[in-house]
Chain A
């Protein structure tokens, strides 16, 4: 993984997060939400690597969230198992929907994902008997690692779990980018026809990327549901998908670290600014997104990366 400076940055960030949450316990929830958001953003970054954006990826987080809730309500499974099953469920849906999606690029890809997510959203609202309608569903706090914990302890345990999973997922995605499949995925952006001429099926490669991105969103969604103890259809609303794409651009889509930097900046700006900007939150997001596209299309990480490189070069 990258240069020593980058490794140092990651360790420093991890240390900062741990120190902050252990010294200021009220930060646990926002940090948890930022981590679960960051995981979903990681999924979107995989797609951006292929030159595609999806305006409906919140649906996978939402599917995983509802999966976790149904299983928690019906079978009272352990939190670790719930996360694993929720993620697997999202990956399975990703694999199915992906078979259809990999045929499309650009506008079609983005909008078809949006269409699927809007269908899911309206179904969740419609079948109220099963899904609790727009109010959503609650579930009791499950055990974590087969230990019953109070709210405080559960949150801490979940936080450590999320942190570990975030690091693992980030490493896995970066490893994937350097693998043959990951390189081929990037080639979909630059020149798909040439990729086909090399004898590599662009569709199969893209399908792999799509399933990975769905799994990442599912992982984020499962953690989000556990952190809240509640799921609502809002989890899959197009605004959420837009936020995820927004964070990816804000943080920088070039590297897994960008996803989490973006997610933390987003969560904490939201924490303080949402109160000031009630009713104008989307407006602010939209304006910042436009500015980012024009001024810094590589995101916060992109700005840092040039810095990391420039310092390392003279040696």
Chain B
């Protein structure tokens, strides 16, 4: 494996990790506030990607200015995240907070099945792929490797911005502090006058938008087919589980680990490429069953 191949694998890994991180961030944020693993999150990724592709096609068809292609990705994410997130929260998640954890999992799993079929009805089974953005931004040469600017610069920048933006939001704004309070203890937060319903809704819309943003940003470089939501759901869970549920900083590191491991596997051991994320997850969980960065929970006797 020579230097340029290593550089290529590094760049692949980083751009892939950026997408993975965005999706995992949404998942872990929702889990933190609701203590529910939203299995339908994988669908938000898929819907975000499909909707972004639809917007991309619309831009070409109506001969709109080409520079709209990049903002369109963000618009797609916000629309899908806000829309589906609100529907999910209002129709389901809000109503299952006090249910048995098994039933909570089942409900989000059922929502996932429903969204998968709806997605197939809307966008069909043919692969969808719109790569205008990537072509517009052109390529860049680093360490003797020519790589697209979109994947090397845009994706990691968005991921970093999302990471610091979220940290700033949770730590420095009044609303963000309320979200953190609900994460720590829902009941006490309610007693302190936090409008938990509003906070919950906001978090799910935000988390959903992050998942959809992952999909929207992936859409110019990935062809979207049915089933992509399930793959991403399990992958982002692998990231979140490796990091520890609810750990934002940990998710960044775990996404980077899994992204790099996967891209190196593509060049070194292509047979185990799909296995890489799970091998890492299993390896980490064997040593730390609650994930790398989890905090100790009190035992209830």
Contacts and interface: CB of A to CB of B under 8 A. Distances in A.
- The reply to whether chain A is a binding partner of chain B is yes
Contact of A107 (B100, B107, B245, B282): B245
Interface in B222-254: 230-231, 234, 237-238, 241, 245
Given A282-B113, A287-B110, A53 B105 contact: yes
Contact of B114 (A115, A246, A283, A294): A283
A182 B110 CA distance: 29
Interface residues of A, number: 45
B106 A249 contact: yes
B130 to A, nearest CB: 24
A92 B182 CA distance: 44
A130 to B, nearest CB: 13
B300 A193 contact: yes
Contacts of B111: 286, 290
B230 A286 contact: no
Nearest to B117: A283
Contacts of B92: 290
B289 interface: yes
Of the listed residues B99, B113, B237, the one surrounded by the most CB atoms of chain A closer than 10 A to its CB is B113
Contacts of B245: 107
B274 interface: yes
Contact of B118 (A112, A191, A283, A294): A283
B97 interface: no
B12 interface: no
A100 interface: yes
A293 B289 contact: no
Q: SS class of chain B's interface: helix, strand, loop or mixed?
A: helix
A123 B273 CA distance: 11
A283 B234 CA distance: 20
A118 B113 contact: no
A279 interface: yes
Given A115-B234, A119-B278, A279-B117, A289 B289 contact: no
Interface string A93-130: 00000001001101110111011101100110010000
B113 A106 contact: no
A200 B174 CA distance: 48
Contact of B116 (A100, A194, A282): A282
A11 interface: no
A281 interface: yes
Given A119-B278, A286-B114, A287-B114, A126 B237 contact: no
Nearest to B121: A279
Contacts of B101: 51, 106-107
A265 B214 CA distance: 39
Nearest to A111: B237
Q: SS class of chain A's interface: helix, strand, loop or mixed?
A: helix
Interface string A289-302: 11001100100000
A118 B110 contact: no
Chain B interface: which size bin? 35 or more
Contact of A279 (B95, B109, B120, B234): B120
A293 B106 contact: yes
Nearest to B286: A100
Contact of A293 (B107, B114, B121, B241): B107
A41 B69 CA distance: 48
B103 interface: yes
B102 A242 contact: no
Contacts of A282: 113-114, 116-117
Contact of B278 (A51, A106, A115, A245): A115
Contacts of B285: 103-104, 108, 112
Contact of B121 (A51, A280, A294): A280
B109 A111 contact: no
A115 B117 contact: no
B198 interface: no
A66 interface: no
B112 interface: yes
A147 B1 CA distance: 59
Nearest to B115: A286
B24 to A, nearest CB: 13
Contacts of B278: 115-116, 119
Contacts of A36: none
A207 interface: no
Of the listed residues B105, B110, B238, B245, the one surrounded by the most CB atoms of chain A closer than 10 A to its CB is B110
Given A118-B234, A122-B274, A285 B102 contact: no
Contact of B107 (A126, A238, A285, A290): A290
Contacts of A263: none
B234 A294 contact: no
Interface in B68-97: 92, 95-96
Interface of B: 37, 39, 92, 95-96, 99-103, 105-107, 109-114, 116-118, 120-121, 230-231, 234, 237-238, 241, 245, 271, 274-275, 278, 281-282, 285-286, 289, 299-301
Would you list the 6 A-B pairs with minimal beta carbon distance, nearest first?
A286-B113, A286-B114, A283-B117, A289-B110, A286-B110, A282-B113
6 contacts: A112-B281, A119-B275, A194-B301, A246-B110, A279-B121, A289-B110
Given A103-B285, A114-B234, 13 more contacts: A55-B109, A104-B285, A106-B105, A107-B101, A107-B105, A108-B285, A112-B281, A115-B238, A122-B274, A126-B271, A282-B113, A283-B113, A283-B118
